[in-house]
């Protein structure tokens, strides 16, 4: 036992009349009292040397009182008819005679009620202090003394336990300190190199044999209580806890009715119980039976410990409806693993989900697919795999499994699955461009509308409604319906803010925060991110969402350095989780910040990006292109449509510094403004110190080019006005416009062999005609030697053949384009396209009116024999 002067100082405090030392055996109570007894004014009295009756106790006290001619206690005790009252009065007299004095009463747990009452009237004597050591506070009436305003102090095992510094000074390791938890007797053994568990073994030898079986079974309980239903289930003897405390079994008091046995003692008792397998199994079954209604998780653990795996699995299956959150699944993971559920069972699916939620992504996904193959419920298993695939960023497979879950499910409606499917489609659409993006966005909008059309506002469907609104928000943005997107985002925000936190709600908040940031409302975006962080469940995929969202918001605020910091974190997390879309998004943001000329950090960020992710094909290509652009500001940005939209926006804004705002650049800016949002364009304008044109407030600046080739006099219209061209140029320009390409290199096969004009002069005339109609300086682009209509809306009356009435099909061959002009390779291609459309329409016509269709076919083939190979008589069977 180390020297502990601070404890002795507290015990000597003269301001405290009664000190109660309460702790189990081995905490140094007797050691401290004996150390104090070296002072002649301190009298050490071992109450266990006396019988519990007052007269016997008085005799023990009389033996330690200093000799004095006026002592009365010894005289009274020598009388054969001495009474308790006379002995107490004599003791009171002698204590007053010797005051000031401190009585050190050890082993007070041996007192009975009569013994405690004997001391009650002595405790308030002037000049007399009492230090009483016992195993439980009930062994001495300290509470009563407090009510009488007697200065008291209670010192328990918490104060008597050795501190970390004291144990470290004795040379204990971290593991030894954790094992002993400051129990002085165990610490002393450990310091001497002995096993501290020996102290528990020796202590239990002093406990009555009749109590040990109850203590062994009680070792299965983390806390011991006097009134606990488990005491009955375990068949613990009456008064077992009070007896254990009286015999000094070390326990820390938690509240008025519960105690925590010291881990060394509890483990020793558990080992003794395990050495008796039948008793151990019986005790665990008893615990399981008592706990399965109120604490099913603990009951499952007890069933598994008893070897009742069938009962454990049955109880786990009954618990499945309650295991919904990631925290609950993570808590159940060890039990599911020990239960070893059969493939295809509901427990096997739950095990897969628990593994996934616990961070074992690959194994969890593999087990879910194994369960599907083993015959697990297809609807729930497909839904689970779809959610796994979504959370790892595989949107295509996620959509397939969610759609399969909806198809397989016999329980309608499928609001939650439809909402998740809509969000998957919407986020997939965000990664794409052109018709592919529009196609997925339309699917997302349809799935979202199917949920929102129900109008169900119940709490159960709250998260599904929010996800559906978020899906519609993202879909509308892709479909250029930004006002509708804003309204949907507003409604989604209002609903999400009042819902209970869940992974779906967190996902919705992050998607909304990023949408509002891109749309230009940074205040709303910041509030939504703060709300998401406050709700965060500390899962890895939510940590990834936070990192990506923060990176995007910092970029929209014009803080490239902070964006790079959080994007780097996001990229590392995404790589670890195999989340390719998040990794791609983080790398795109890193690429943007790496090439932005915004200070000395640019070159450092660029080099770090090359070193860390330069092997990624998309990043390598993007860096090569962007590096050239920013190193050579005069370089044109044509060809940038192969880049991600975020980087296209960066290039388009950068181009405003050096390029003329021609139709190409204007169209590109307009497209990006509508698709990505004002916040994206404005953030790059801020970082590059470029003013964004005010025309980007809408779509009215986009120009329309109409090709009218089926008229008796063909013409080209620009914004509804006919383009003034020489007649000889109309047909070549129509063909080029129909191709969507006006470059000189594309015109070689347009002109007839005998054409004597110069194509380059014709293109110059074409450029002048466009300029005159639009008023733009460079309506067909400003790059030397190239003309483009990529930024124009293109309409052609040739496409009208697909929709016109059947009888109007004959008008094609009345058009001069077919009737009068000498064929050229380009004109032949154009006529072949028209023939293909005619053949399709004739096939449709034959199903409606076979006779009229056959007559039209004969007439058309007479005019154009080349149409015969594409058409077959009405009613003919396909081979």
Residue-wise pLDDT tens digits, 694-731:
655 444 445 677 777 766 677 778 777 777 776 656 66
Structure tokens belonging to residue 727: 């007649």
What local confidence, expressed as pLDDT, does residue 75 receive? 87
In angstroms, the CA 324 to CA 327 distance is 8
Which of 384-388, 631-635, 678-682: highest mean pLDDT? Answer: 678-682
Place of tokens 């509901």: 346
User: According to the model, what pLDDT value does residue 280 have?
Assistant: 93
Report which of residues 655 and 554 the model is more confident about: 554
Q: What is the pLDDT of residues 359-380, one digit of tens each?
A: 677 787 888 888 888 888 888 8
Q: 434: helix, coil or strand?
A: helix
The DSSP result for 553-618, as a single string, is HHHHTT-HHHHHHHHHHHHHHHHHHT-HHHHHHHHHHHHHHHH--SSTHHHHHHHHHHHHHTTSHH
Other residues' Cβ atoms within 10 Å of the Cβ of residue 163: 12
Distance CA 373, CA 462 (A): 33
Residue 551 has pLDDT above 90, yes or no: yes
Half-sphere exposure of 608 (CA within 13 A, CB side): 14
- The 3-state DSSP class for residue 274 equals helix
Is 50 exceeded by the pLDDT of residue 879?
Answer: no
Distance, in Å, from the CA atom of 826 to the CA atom of 751, rounded to the nearest integer, reads: 8
Structure tokens at 430: 């965000």
- What is the rounded average pLDDT of the residues 546-573? 90
The sheet with strand 715-718 has its strands ordered as 721-722, 715-718, 704-708, 793-796
* Measured distance CA(703)–CA(683) in Å, rounded: 27
Distance in angstroms (rounded) separating the CA atoms of residues 727 and 824 = 17
**The pLDDT of residue 582:** 86
Q: What is the pLDDT of residues 291-314, one digit of tens each?
A: 888 888 888 888 888 888 888 888
Model pLDDT, residue 81: 85
Using N-to-C axis directions, what is the helix angle for 378-391 and 361-373, rounded to 10°?
A: 160
- Band of pLDDT at residue 878, cut at 50, 70 and 90: very low
Higher pLDDT, 804 or 257: 257
**Which residue spans within 15-155 are E strands per DSSP?**
18-22, 42-46, 101-106, 128-134, 152-155
Q: 858 CB contacts (<8 Å, ≥6 apart)?
A: none
Residue 747: what pLDDT? 54
- pLDDT (0 to 100) of residue 187: 93
Cα–Cα nearest to 513, from 478, 552, 565, 555: 552
pLDDT, residue 669, reads: 84
Q: Taking residues 816-828, what's their average pLDDT?
A: 58
Task: Using the structure block, give the residue that is written with the tokens 């008064």.
Answer: 239
Confidence of residue 630 (pLDDT cuts 50, 70, 90): low
Contact by Cβ (8 Å): 206, 248: yes
Q: 0.75 cut: is pTM over it?
A: no
pLDDT for residue 877: 39
pLDDT score of 610 more than 50: yes
| pLDDT value for 773 | 73
Minimum mean pLDDT among 105-114, 263-272, 663-672: which range? 663-672
Q: Which residue's structure tokens are 């709700």?
A: 535
The predicted pLDDT at position 271 comes to: 94
Q: Quick one: CA torsion of 538, 544, 549, 550, rounded to 10 degrees?
A: 80
Ramachandran quadrant class, 662 (left: phi over 0; alpha: psi -120 to 50; beta: rest): beta
Q: What's the pLDDT at 462?
A: 78
Quick one: which H or E segment has residue 683? Answer: helix 678-688
Q: How high is the mean pLDDT of the chain?
A: 80
Q: What percent of the chain has pLDDT over 90?
A: 22
Is residue 325's pLDDT more than 70?
no
Give the per-residue pLDDT at 743: 53
CB contact at 8 A, 67 and 101: no
Query: Tokens standing for 18?
Result: 């009664």
3-state helix, strand, coil in the chain (%, to 5): 65, 5, 30
Other C-beta atoms within 10 Å of 717: how many?
15
Task: Render pLDDT for 193-249 as a digit per residue (tens, 0 to 9).
Answer: 899 999 999 999 999 999 999 999 999 999 999 888 898 899 999 889 989 998 999
- Band of the pLDDT at 102, cuts 50, 70, 90? very high
Give the pLDDT band of residue 809 (cuts 50, 70, 90): low
Residue 550: pLDDT band with limits 50, 70, 90:
very high
Q: Residue 700's pLDDT is what?
A: 43
Q: Is 677 left (phi over 0), alpha (psi -120 to 50) or beta?
A: left
Residue 22 near residue 136, CB atoms below 8 Å: yes
Beta bridge partners of 129: 102
Once rounded to an integer, what is the mean pLDDT over residues 71-75? 88
Lowest mean pLDDT among 171-180, 467-476, 713-722, 787-796: 787-796
Give me the pLDDT at residue 638, please.
46
d(CA 417, CA 463): 11
pLDDT band with cut points at 50, 70 and 90 for residue 571: confident
Residues 6+ apart with CB under 8 A from 29: 21, 23, 106, 133, 160
Residue 405: band (very low, low, confident or very high) from pLDDT cuts 50, 70, 90: confident
In this prediction, residue 694 carries a pLDDT of 66
Q: How far is CA 626 from CA 42, 596, 613, 664, in A?
A: 89, 10, 16, 19
Query: Given this model, what pLDDT does residue 487 score?
Result: 86
Asked if residues 779 and 661 have their Cβ atoms less than 8 Å apart, the reply is no
| Per-residue three-class SS string for 724-753 | CCCHHHHHHHHHHHHHCCCCHHHCCCCCCC
Q: How does pLDDT run across 426-466, given as a tens digit for each residue?
A: 999 988 888 888 899 989 988 888 888 775 555 557 788 88
Pairing of strands 715-718, 251-253: unpaired
pLDDT of residue 307: 85
Name the least confident of 603-617, 646-660, 766-780: 603-617
d(CA 807, CA 801): 11
Q: How far apart are CA 279 and CA 289, in angstroms?
A: 15
Position with higher pLDDT, 664 vs 181: 181
The more confidently predicted of residues 821 and 149 is 149
Residue closest to 494 by CA, chosen among 470, 476, 515, 517: 470
Asked whether the beta carbons of 328 and 538 are under 8 A apart, the reply is no
- 3-state class of 224 per DSSP? strand
Mean pLDDT, residues 270-288:
92
Residues 790 and 784: their CA atoms lie apart, in Å, by 16
Per-residue pLDDT, averaged over 323-338, amounts to 71
Render pLDDT for 850-875 as a digit per residue (tens, 0 to 9).
888 788 778 777 777 777 777 665 44
- Give the residue-averaged pLDDT of 74-92: 88
């Amino acid at each position: 036992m180390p020297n502990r002067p601070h404890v002795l100082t507290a015990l000597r405090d003269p301001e405290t009349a009664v000190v109660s030392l309460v702790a189990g055996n081995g905490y140094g109570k007797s050691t401290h009292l004996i150390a104090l007894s070296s002072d002649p004014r301190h009298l050490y009295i071992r109450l266990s040397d006396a019988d519990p009756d007052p007269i016997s106790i008085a005799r023990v006290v009389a033996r330690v009182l200093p000799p004095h001619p006026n002592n009365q206690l010894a005289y009274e005790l020598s009388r054969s008819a001495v009474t308790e009252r006379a002995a107490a009065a004599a003791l009171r007299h002698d204590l007053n005679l010797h005051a000031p004095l401190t009585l050190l009463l050890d082993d007070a747990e041996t007192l009975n009620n009569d013994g405690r009452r004997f001391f009650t009237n002595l405790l308030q004597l002037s000049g007399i202090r009492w230090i009483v050591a016992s195993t439980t506070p009930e062994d001495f009436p300290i509470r009563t003394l407090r009510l009488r305003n007697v200065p008291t102090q209670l010192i328990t095992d918490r104060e008597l336990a050795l501190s970390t510094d004291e144990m470290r000074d004795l040379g204990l390791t971290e593991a030894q300190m954790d094992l002993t938890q400051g129990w002085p007797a165990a610490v002393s053994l450990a310091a001497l190199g002995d096993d501290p568990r020996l102290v528990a073994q020796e202590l239990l030898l002093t406990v009555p044999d009749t109590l040990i079986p109850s203590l062994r079974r009680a070792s299965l309980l983390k806390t011991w209580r006097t009134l606990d239903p488990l005491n009955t289930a375990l068949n613990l003897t009456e008064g077992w806890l009070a007896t254990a405390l009286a015999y000094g079994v070390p326990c820390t008091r938690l509240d008025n009715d519960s105690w925590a046995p010291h881990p060394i003692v509890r483990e020793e008792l558990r080992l003794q119980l395990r050495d008796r397998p039948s008793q151990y199994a019986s005790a665990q079954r008893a615990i399981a039976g008592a706990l399965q209604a109120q604490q099913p998780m603990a009951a499952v653990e007890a069933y598994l410990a008893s070897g009742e795996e069938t009962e454990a699995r049955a109880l786990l299956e009954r618990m499945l409806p309650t295991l919904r959150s990631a925290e609950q699944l993570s808590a159940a993971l060890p039990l599911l693993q020990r239960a070893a559920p059969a493939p295809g069972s509901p427990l096997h699916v739950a095990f897969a989900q628990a593994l996934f939620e616990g961070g074992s992504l690959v194994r969890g996904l593999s087990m879910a697919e194994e369960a599907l193959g083993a015959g697990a419920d297809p609807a729930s298993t497909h839904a689970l795999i779809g959610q796994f695939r979504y959370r790892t960023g595989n949107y295509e497979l996620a959509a397939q499994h969610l759609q399969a879950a909806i198809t397989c499910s016999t329980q309608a409606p499928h609001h939650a699955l439809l909402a998740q499917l809509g969000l998957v489609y919407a986020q997939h659409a965000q990664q794409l461009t052109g018709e592919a993006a529009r196609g997925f966005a339309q699917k997302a909008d349809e799935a979202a509308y199917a949920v929102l059309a129900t109008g169900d506002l119940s709490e159960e469907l709250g998260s599904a409604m929010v996800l559906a609104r978020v899906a519609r928000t993202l879909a509308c943005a892709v479909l250029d319906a930004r006002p509708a997107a804003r309204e949907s985002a507003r409604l989604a925000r209002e609903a999400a803010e009042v819902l209970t936190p869940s992974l779906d709600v967190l996902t919705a908040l992050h998607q909304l925060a990023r949408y509002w940031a891109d749309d230009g409302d940074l205040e709303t975006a910041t509030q939504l991110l703060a709300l998401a962080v406050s709700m965060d469940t500390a899962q890895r995929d939510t940590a990834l969402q936070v990192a990506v969202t923060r990176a995007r918001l910092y970029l929209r605020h014009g803080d490239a350095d902070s964006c790079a910091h959080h994007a780097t974190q996001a990229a590392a997390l995404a790589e670890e989780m195999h989340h390719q879309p998040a990794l791609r998004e983080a790398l795109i943001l890193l690429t943007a910040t790496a090439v932005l000329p915004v200070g000395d950090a640019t070159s450092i960020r660029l080099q770090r990006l090359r070193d860390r992710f330069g092997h990624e094909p998309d990043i390598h290509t993007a860096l090569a292109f962007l590096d050239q652009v920013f190193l050579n500001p005069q370089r044109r940005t044509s060809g940038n449509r192969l880049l991600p939209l975020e980087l296209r926006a960066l290039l388009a804004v950068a181009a405003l510094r050096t390029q003329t705002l021609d139709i190409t650049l204007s169209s590109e800016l307009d497209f990006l403004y509508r698709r990505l949002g004002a916040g994206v364009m404005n953030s790059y304008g801020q970082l590059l110190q470029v003013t964004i044109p005010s025309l980007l407030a809408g779509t009215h600046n986009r120009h329309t080019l109409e090709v009218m080739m089926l008229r008796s006099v063909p013409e080209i219209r620009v914004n509804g006005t006919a383009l003034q061209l020489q007649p000889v140029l109309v047909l070549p320009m129509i063909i080029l416009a129909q191709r969507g390409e006006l470059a000189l290199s594309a015109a070689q096969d347009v002109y007839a062999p005998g054409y004597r004009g110069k194509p380059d002069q014709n293109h110059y005339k074409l450029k002048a005609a466009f300029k005159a109609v639009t008023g733009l300086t460079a309506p067909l682009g400003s790059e030397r030697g190239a003309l483009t209509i990529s930024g124009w809306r293109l309409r052609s009356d040739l496409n009208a053949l697909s929709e016109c009435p059947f009888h109007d099909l004959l008008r094609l061959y009345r058009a001069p384009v077919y009737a009068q002009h000498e064929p050229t390779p380009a004109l032949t291609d154009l006529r072949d396209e028209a023939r293909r459309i005619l053949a399709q329409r004739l096939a449709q016509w034959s199903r409606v009116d076979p006779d009229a269709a056959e007559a039209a076919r004969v007439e058309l083939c007479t005019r154009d024999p080349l149409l015969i190979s594409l058409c077959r008589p009405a009613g003919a069977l396909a081979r």
